[in-house]
Amino acid sequence: MHIYISEEVIGKSHVVALETAVLTHGLPYPKNVEAVVKMEKAVRESGAIPATIGIVNGIIKIGLTLDEIEMLGTVDGRQKVSIRDIPLAVYGKWNAGTTVSATMWIAHKAGIEVFATGGIGGVHRHVEKTWDISADMYALATIPIMVVSSGAKSILDLPKTLEYLETLGVPVLGYQTNVFPAFYTGKTLLQLRHRFETPNQVAAYWRVHKGVNLDKGVLLANPIPEDKAIPQSEMENIMESVLDEMEQKGVTGKDVTPFLLSRIADILGEKVVEANIALLVNNARVAGAIARFL
């Protein structure tokens, strides 16, 4: 067997999956470990059970221990695994964090219906040159799980990301918002058609979504807390500069997102790290509240 499910998670319905790419590649140590621990705590305080997912020595773990979280946040040679890489990670006995797409696939196989993350991947800027579209889009189009996130990462082409989600037939819902958030920025000009106010409403919708057998994920867009948000104008100015730098250095493929997030952190410093943790914890809290009603 290549999958291990913790006893706390087995057979339970009120479970929230958490990813670990943020642990291995998203935040610096010790903030990365701190973020995951805080997310787990937020899920528990909302009345649900956290299931942090990662790969430890080639074993897919659903429900990491604190020691395993610490290890994945610090061990040399740790990898970041997308959905296509899961067999390679098992075969190669990797220590790896799971991205949105990989976490969705693993969580669904374990019967978990709700997943909290920071922001999904999507259609990258200048996609007409690179064809760089995240596997998260494919996962949302094919894996029926509720994904709670602060929209998509601000490094992306957000209008194209929303258009592609529509093409794929993925419902995008606002949680206490009428606009699609942009990760560090809660307010954009991208309007959403549907809005929900309470976890109970979202859970009721999810039961209907499953009942019609749409076999697609749902993206619940939950904005970053306002007191931690970074103004969109400030983010756009930084993005233009960092994208130029990325092009000059020839950064491509799976290295794009870690490079961009690292450079943004270099420029904005502690403010961007605290914003990232705030939105992660807030999404975990909302996901836990939804899972409690399932």
pLDDT tens by residue, the chain, 294 residues: 588 999 899 888 899 999 999 999 989 999 999 999 999 999 999 999 999 999 999 999 999 999 999 999 999 999 999 999 999 999 999 999 999 999 999 999 999 999 999 999 999 888 888 888 999 999 999 999 999 999 998 888 999 999 999 999 999 999 999 999 999 988 888 999 999 999 999 999 999 999 999 999 999 999 999 999 998 888 888 888 888 898 889 887 777 777 887 888 889 888 999 999 999 999 999 999 999 999
- Structure token digits, residue 266: 């270099």
Question: What is the distance of C-alpha 69 from the center of its chain?
Answer: 17
Whether 38 is a known active-site residue: answer no
Cβ-Cβ contacts under 8 Å for 258 (sequence gap 6 or more): 25, 26, 80
Q: What sign does the dihedral 207-199-159-98 (CA atoms) show?
A: negative
Reply yes or no on whether 197 is catalytic.
no
Domains of the chain (ranges plus CATH)? 3-291 (3.40.1790.10)
Residue in 19, 40, 70, 113 annotated catalytic:
19
Which residues fall within 8 angstroms of residue 121, CB to CB, at 6 or more apart?
A: 99, 100, 101, 134, 135, 136, 137, 152, 153, 156, 257
Give how far the C-alpha of residue 40 lies from the chain's centroid of Cα atoms, to the nearest Å.
Answer: 14
Catalytic residue among 31, 61, 153, 216: 153
- pTM value is 0.94
- Residue 277: which of 24, 38, 30, 56 has the closest Cα? 38
